[in-house]
Amino acid sequence: MTEDMSRYKDMFISEATEYLQNLNKSLLSLEKNPENLELLNEIFRLAHTMKGMAATMGYQKITTVAHQMEDVLDRLRQQELKVAPEIIETLFKALDVLEPLVREIVSGEDKKVDINEIIVDLRMIMEQKQPAAASPAKETEAGTPPDEKKTVSKEGEKKRAQNSVRINIEHLDNLMNLVGELVINKARLFQIGANYKLGALNESLTQLERITGSLQEEVLKTRMIPVSHIFDRYPRVVRDLAKLKNKEINFEIEGSDIELDRLIVDEINDPLIHLIRNSVDHGIETPQERVKNGKSEAGYVKLSARREKGYVRIELTDDGKGMDPQEIAEKAIEKGMMTREKLVLLTEQERLMLICEPGFSTAAEISDTSGRGVGMDVVKTKVEAFNGSVTIETQKGKGSTFIIKLPLTLAIIQSLMVKVAEEVYAIPLSNITEINSFTPDFIRTIEKREVIKIREEILPLLSLREVFDLPSRQYGEEICVVTVEVGEKRLGLVVDSIYSREEIVIKTLGGILKRTKGISGATILGDGRVVLIVDITGIM
C-alpha cells in the first residue's frame, strides 16, 4: 500500500469497536429469535463491513476471521444452515478473538492472538451440508412478523448520529484545561475589579462570566458519553456466566442513554462487571433452589441508570438470596476484622458495608468468576475515588440492590472554602450536608474522641488543624463544624471559619505529592493563591 494508512488507524479502531459491540448485541438477540432473518442480515452486514475495513488496513488476522464469519453467516441467511446453539456459540467465540485483535492495534503490541482454532471451528460449520441436527420443533421456517423486522434496522440507523465528528479525547482534555484556566483568570479579574472598584470592568466581566459559563457547560458536554458505551457489553457477560453456572437469568437494562464524563464511564466498567458477576454467581440461586423457595426458575437482574440532581445513580438489583447483615458481621469477627464490642456500635448498613472491607472475601471462596480481578473493596475504593458512593440494600431471601452514585463530571466542582490557621482549604460541596456553629461546652468526649450531639445523633469531630499538622488552638467562643458525608459515614470537620463558596477547577497533584494523605488535588483562586482540596474520603 503506497498510502500511509497509519493515520486511518484511529478511525478504524473506533468504528471496529462499535461494530464489535453491535455484533455482540445482535448475536444475543439472534440467540433469542433464531428465526429472525432481518437480524441475520444485520449481523452478516456487520461482519462483512468489518472484513472490508480490516482488509483495507491490511490487518490479516481480523480479515481472515471476519471473512470466515461472513461465510457462515451467509449460509445461515441463505437458509442453507440452521441457526443452532453451537453455531451461535462459535460466532461468539469468533467475536472474543476479534476483540483482542482490535485491542492489539490500539496498544500496538503483538499479543500473539491465535486464530487457528476459531478458523477451524468456523470451517467445521461450513462443512455441515445439511441444516444442523436441530430439534424438529424448529421446522417451521416462517419469517418474522413484519413489524419486528422494521425495528431491527431502524434502531441501528437511529443510533448513528448524522452530524457528528470523531475527536481524539486528548483534544477534549486540553480544551477542558484551557477552559479551567479561563475560569481561574476570570476570577482573578473579578478580584481586581473588586479591589480597585472599577465599575466598567465589573460590567463587562458579568458578560464574560455568562460566556465562560456557557463555554464551560458546552465543553463539559463534549466529554459526556452515554453509559450504553459500557452497558451494552453486559448482556453478554450475564449470558456467558449464567450458562457456565447453569442458571437462567433475565437481564434487563434501563437508562443506558444517561450520560457521564467519559473518564468515569471507562473507570466504572470493571467495578460494574464485578457487581454483575457477583449477582449472577452469588446472588441468584440455582433454578432448583429457586423453585424450592417458591420463586420463578429464572432469576432476574436489572441494571439501571438515572439522573439525580448533580449525580447519576446506577442500581444493580437482583431477586436472589440476599444478604444478612448479622451473618456478615459474624464472618467479619471470625476473620478478625472486627471485635464483638465494636460490632454493637455498627448500624445495619455499616454491617453490610463490611463486605467492602479489604480482606473480607478470602482466597478459599474465590470462585473463578467473581473472585477474579477486582473485589468489593476495589469497587468501593474506585467509586469513592470519583467522589461517588456505594450503598447496599438487601433482604434475606428476597434479593439485593447495589446503589452507586457518581458525579456527572470530575473537572469542575462546587466547593466551600474554609480557613484553618490562616490557610484556605477547599471542601467539595457534594460531600457537605450541613454547617453549624456550637459553643465549646457542647463537645463531649467518647473513647478519647471528641464528638458532638446533633439532633440526638452522635457526630464524631475531627479538627482540620490536626489533619494537616497545623498548630492547634484553644476553642474560642464558637466552633465552626462542617458536617461531611461519604456513603453512610459522617464526620464533623472543625474549621476556624467559613471563607466563601466557589466553583473550582480541580488540578491533580503529580509526582511525589500524588499520594499526600488528606489532599485530593489543588486549585487556583482568583487572587492567584493555590488552595488544597480536602480529600474527604481519605480522612474518614
Alpha-helical segments (H) within 313-394: 325-334, 340-345, 348-352, 376-385
Residue 461: name the closest of 440, 490, 491 by CA. 491
Q: Write down the catalytic residue from 33, 48, 348, 350.
A: 48
Choice among 38, 42, 70, 384 that is catalytic: 70
* Of the residues 93, 144, 156, 518, which one makes contact with another protein according to CB under 8 A: 156
Smallest gap from residue 92 Cβ to another protein (A): 22
The DSSP code for 138 is: G
Q: Does 25 bind another protein (CB under 8 A)?
A: no
Q: Is 12 in the site for another protein (CB under 8 A)?
A: yes
CA distance 317 to 325: 17
Q: Would you count residue 29 as binding another protein (CB under 8 A)?
A: no
Task: Tell me if 126 contacts another protein by CB under 8 A.
Answer: no
Residue 145 is classified by DSSP as P
Q: How many CB atoms lie within 10 A of CB 83?
A: 24
* Residue 357 bears catalytic tag: no
Out of 51, 75, 236, 351, the only residue in the binding site for another protein (CB under 8 A) is 51
Pairing label, strands 519-524, 530-534:
antiparallel
User: Which spans in 223-286 are helix H?
Assistant: 228-231, 234-244, 262-278
From the list 39-47, 342-350, 430-438, 489-497, the region that binds another protein by CB under 8 A is 39-47
Residue 318 CA to residue 412 CA, distance in Å, equals 35
Annotate each residue in 456-495 with x if it binds another protein (CB under 8 A) or - if it does not, as one string: ----------------------------------------
Which CB atom, from 153 or from 222, has the smaller least distance to another protein? Answer: 153
Q: Report if residue 106 touches another protein, rule: CB under 8 A.
A: no
CA angle 27, 28, 33 (to 5 degrees): 90
Please list, in sequence order, all residues whose beta carbon lies within 8 angstroms of the beta carbon of residue 493, skipping any fewer than 6 positions away. 418, 427, 461, 462, 463, 464, 481, 482, 483, 484, 534
Report the residue from 45, 75, 77, 380 that binds another protein according to the rule CB under 8 A: 45
- Of 86, 85, 79, which is closest to residue 41 (Cα–Cα)? 79
Query: Does 122 engage in binding with another protein (CB under 8 A)?
Result: no
Question: DSSP per residue over 20-45, as a string?
Answer: HHHHHHHHHHHHH-TT-HHHHHHHHH
306 φ/ψ angles, rounded to the nearest 5 degrees: -155, 155
Binding span for another protein by CB under 8 A among 49-57, 127-135, 317-325, 348-356? 49-57
- Out of 153, 185, 381, 516, the only residue in the binding site for another protein (CB under 8 A) is 153
Q: Does 77 bind another protein (CB under 8 A)?
A: no
Site for another protein in 162-181 (CB under 8 A): 166
Number of chain residues interacting with another protein (CB under 8 A): 29
Q: Smallest distance from the beta carbon of 87 to another protein, in angstroms? A: 19
Q: Which residue of 28, 37, 55, 215 would you call a contact of another protein, by CB under 8 A?
A: 55
Name which of 33 and 49 has its Cβ closer to another protein: 49
At a CB cut-off of 8 Å and minimum separation 6, what does 57 contact?
Answer: 5, 8, 9, 12
Whether residue 192 contacts residue 201, with contact meaning beta carbons closer than 8 Å, is answered with yes
Annotated active-site residue 393? The verdict is no
Determine the interface stretch with another protein among 151-159, 220-228, 350-358, 390-398 (rule: CB under 8 A): 151-159
- Segment near another protein (CB under 8 A); pick from 27-35, 40-48, 203-211, 440-448: 40-48
Residue 61 near another protein by CB under 8 A: no
State the nearest-atom distance from the C-beta of 50 to another protein, in Å: 9
Q: Which residue has the cell 419486528?
A: 148
Determine if 75 is a binding residue for another protein (CB under 8 A): no
- Smallest CA-to-CA distance from 173 within 223, 213, 218, 227 is with 223
Based on CB atoms, which residue is closest to another protein, 26 or 394?
26
Using the rule CB under 8 A, which residue among 24, 42, 260, 428 binds another protein? 42
One-letter amino acid of 515 = R
Rounded-to-5 percentages of helix, strand, coil across the chain: 50, 20, 30
* Angstrom distance (rounded) from CA 527 to CA 540: 31
Of the listed 278, 282, 387, 431, which one is catalytic? 278
Q: Per CB under 8 A, which of residues 345..364 are in contact with another protein? A: none
Q: What radius of gyration, in Å, describes the C-alpha atoms of the chain?
A: 28
Nearest to 353 by CA among 319, 406, 389, 385: 389
- Taking CB under 8 A as the binding criterion, the range among 67-75, 291-299, 405-413, 510-518 that sits at the site for another protein is 67-75
Q: Is 33 a catalytic residue?
A: no
Nearer CB in complex with another protein: 16/376: 16
Residues within the interface to another protein (CB under 8 A):
1-3, 8, 11-12, 15-16, 42, 44-45, 48-49, 51-53, 55-58, 63, 67, 70-71, 153, 156-157, 160, 166
Residues carrying an active site annotation: 48, 70, 278
